[in-house]
Amino acid sequence: MINYLIKLTGFVVFSSASLMAAENTIWADRPAVDSNKDYEQSYPIGNGRLGALIYGGTDQEQIILNEDTLWIGDEEDTGSYQMFGPLLIDFQKSDQESGGEGGNSVSKSYRRELDIDQSLHTVTYSQNGVQYKREAFASNPANVMVFRFSADKGGAYSGVISLKDTHQGKVKANGNILSMSGALKNRYKSSKSDYKINLQYEAQVMVVNQGGELETKDGKMSFKNCDGLMILVDAGTDYLNQREQGWKQEHPHQRISDRLNKASKRSFDDLLTEHVADYQKLYQRVNLNLGDSPQDALALPTPSRVDRYRGRKLKHKPGVHYDKIAIGVDGGKSDPDLEELIFNYARYLMISCSREGCMPANLQGLWNKDNNPPWRSDYHTDINLQMNYWFVGPANLSDCFTPVSEWLYSVVPVKREATKKAFGVRGWAHRAENGIFGGASFKWYIGDGAWLMQNLWDHYTFTLDQEYLETRAYPLLKELCEFWEDSLIERKDGKLVSPKGQSPEHGPEREGNSYEQQLVYNLFTNYIEASSILGRDEAFRKKVTSLRSRLLGPQIGKWGQLQEWDEDMDDPNNKHRHLSHLLAVYPLKQISPTKTPKLAGAAKVSLNARGDGGTGWSKAFKIGVWARLHDGNRAYKLLKEQINGNFYGNLLSFHAPFQIDANFGYAAGVCEMLMQSQTGVVQLLPALPNAWKTGSVKGIKARGGFEVDLDWKDGKLTEVKVTSLKGQPMKLQYGDQLKELKTVAGETYTFNASLK
């Protein structure tokens, strides 16, 4: 991409030609209407811990602030993720143009964009002969959010800055700092008064003006005749992910003040350069090319571009449940760059909401505009949290995974006590809804723990991090095996089955449902391998091996389906969004077309019966399952179904409402279509669809510590490069070709389509 720059008195803008050609940019030609329209129009920024939704108004800029530890709840109740509150910037109204969206006047030159390559949000517009520019990013190394307002004429900025505290805290203005602080009452929708934790919180907004004047009055800050502004934002709580410390640390005030003071001594350009370098260190690891889109697609604002792709404007109503809707894929126009952009956007979102030392991505990642968010914006563990992280290994973002293992490690002591109380057994299990203090709600889905442990095991298989395996994954694997040793029931035929339970959110409660049987088999398999690698607990390893051999395995039913329950009772007309009995295909590895072709065939029957409709995350799951069944064209059909029916114009995906798991699940499905490595063999282009005739992917990662570059033309592999990071032996497969090789850490190996 070539950028043509125009410099106007130190003010830099992009030419319209270069902006339209930006393939990795999400943009609109008008502000977001308002914060009550779900997430359909705002753009998110984040540094892992801090986040914001930006609306881009010209009369008023509205920025919804988030910080990932602002939760209510405790060790008994899930609670809910909370919004910090809106930061509002009202610009002084003069003889401006009028009639814009949501009370914001809009010029023909208006543009707001989110540059995925640089993690930079920009608004530009002209008004009364002045060219305005507003930039924003959330810096991980500086640990603050940074906003710069500039113009091509002096004295162009006047207005008022205010904060709204949505938790009855205090808002103050002093000097060049606005702040709000208070304490949460940590019960969710309850009249109980026994608040046990009560997190203290604070947010600060520091304004650095260039020219003009600042004045504070009545808890607000006014700015007058400023040439420009740099606004620094930070927020936090006294949460600590250590139960033994009562989940609390010192008040966040000093940490916030220190970070803002340090950042304020640096220039915007310096902070931006550092931010982009830090972000691109992760983002630039992978490059995907699925073909070229026509210029008329690239020239459209992103909402119009999505409409072009699906052939009509989606009439979505907030709150409508898209459970059984299948949107046809005919009528739209090809746009492979849009399919790439959505993949890259998922990587942007993950880097922005899940960094080391932060909390895991919740149902909305980091971005929440409500104190009563859908499903509490919690950690749902009956597919959603797991789906969030399926793609981080293959997409070379394993650095973003540690928040999951750290969160789980911190709450397991609470889970252990709740499990003992509920079931009288060792180990730990999960209910479906979970918070940051270990509290939970909704139903017990006792297979969820084993499902989460697959994510933790996958992190090891991609990184081969021995210290992580020994200190984080292995202790939890072993304890969970103890739970299942105590919980499995022996049938009359000698088979071991899970106790009575439900396939998540679906069907009757029965012993031995396929969801739990598959997960327990997988858990035992992973534990056996982990124990062998570490050379630990040989006697228990033998016991687990024996238990695994006696588990009831996958069953094929009377209409050829993979059974969801121990008895043959599946309804071929059931279109339910959950497909938990297909976990053995994906993301697990018990069923595959090469090793278990009959079971794979039965999985296809079940998948066809459920249909191609469903929520955004359900369609994303189906992409991965069809890819594992090596049907690239069907996987691609589901990929188009998801874009056609489950993406807003800002490319956030919806259930409805917005849930980030579908964005991440989409990226996971793309990875599975291009490469798979779950069986110990690195399979190249196992589910390449006809639509992606020619393309490439660079830096995708395989289990065992391998980075892979793939090029293909006319649907056929042309070249593959493999870089060995850990010096492990490798099996490489393309079609009927199989190549086995020993590798040396740091070496790169190049092969043609014949793997020679």
* Total Cβ atoms within 10 A of residue 4: 11
Backbone angles phi, psi at 50, to 5 degrees: -100, 145
The pLDDT of residue 327: 47
pLDDT(95) > 80: no
Residue-wise pLDDT tens digits, 240-251: 999 999 999 999
Say yes or no: do domains 23-284 and 677-756 share a fold: no
Q: Which of 92-101, 152-161, 167-176, 619-628 has the lowest mean pLDDT?
A: 92-101
- Label residue 104 by pLDDT band (50, 70, 90): low
- Label residue 543 by pLDDT band (50, 70, 90): very high
671's tokens: 């990875």
List strands edge to edge, sheet with 213-217.
43-46, 50-54, 60-67, 85-91, 157-163, 220-226, 213-217
DSSP code for 473: I
The pLDDT of residue 525: 98
The pLDDT of residue 7: 32
The pLDDT of residue 23: 78
Per-residue burial over 256-294, b = 16 or more CB atoms within 10 Å of its CB, e = otherwise: bbebbeebbeeebeebbeebbebbeebbebbebbbeebe
pLDDT(253) > 60: yes
For the chain, how far is it from start to end, CA to CA, in angstroms? 34
* Total Cβ atoms within 10 A of residue 449: 24
Residue-wise pLDDT tens digits, 214-237: 999 999 999 999 999 999 999 999
Q: Which of 129-133, 196-200, 649-653 has the lowest mean pLDDT?
A: 196-200
384's tokens: 């959603």
State what percent of residues in the chain have pLDDT above 90: 88
* Cβ neighbourhood burial of 657 (10 Å; 0-12, 13-18, 19+): buried
State what percent of residues in the chain have pLDDT above 70: 91
Residue-wise pLDDT tens digits, 681-713: 999 999 999 999 999 999 999 999 999 999 999
Superfamily the domain 677-756 falls into: Golgi alpha-mannosidase II (2.60.40.1180)
* Total Cβ atoms within 10 A of residue 744: 9
Residue-wise pLDDT tens digits, 170-221: 999 999 999 999 999 865 554 454 557 889 999 999 999 999 999 999 999 9
Compute the average pLDDT of residues 476-489: 98
Distance CA 424, CA 414 (A): 15
CATH (residue range 362-603): 1.50.10.10
Distance CA 168, CA 191 (A): 17
The pLDDT of residue 534: 98
pLDDT(17) > 80: no
- Label residue 36 by pLDDT band (50, 70, 90): low
pLDDT(586) > 80: yes
pTM: 0.94
* Total Cβ atoms within 10 A of residue 331: 9
pLDDT(154) > 90: yes
Distance CA 666, CA 394 (A): 13
Mean pLDDT of the residues in the chain: 92
pLDDT(34) > 70: no
Q: Which of 67-71, 107-111, 416-420, 633-637 has the lowest mean pLDDT?
A: 107-111
pLDDT(714) > 80: yes
Residue partners of 595: CB distance under 8 A and separation at least 6:
679
CA-angle at 518, arms to 516 and 519, nearest 5°: 65
386's tokens: 């797991």
The pLDDT of residue 312: 79
pLDDT(295) > 50: yes
The pLDDT of residue 197: 84
The pLDDT of residue 105: 61
Distance CA 43, CA 51 (A): 11
Q: Which of 391-395, 405-409, 570-574 has the lowest mean pLDDT?
A: 570-574
Q: Which of 104-118, 253-267, 541-555, 568-582 has the lowest mean pLDDT?
A: 104-118
**Helix, strand, or coil (residue 214):** strand
The pLDDT of residue 107: 73
The pLDDT of residue 187: 59
Per-residue burial over 333-356, b = 16 or more CB atoms within 10 Å of its CB, e = otherwise: eebbbbbbbbbbbbbbbbbbbbbe
Compute the average pLDDT of residues 667-673: 98
Residue type, 660: I
Question: What are the extents of the domains in the chain?
Answer: 23-284, 285-355+612-674, 362-603, 677-756
Report the CATH fold assignment for 23-284. Beta-galactosidase; Chain A, domain 5 (2.70.98)
Backbone angles phi, psi at 131, to 5 degrees: -95, 120
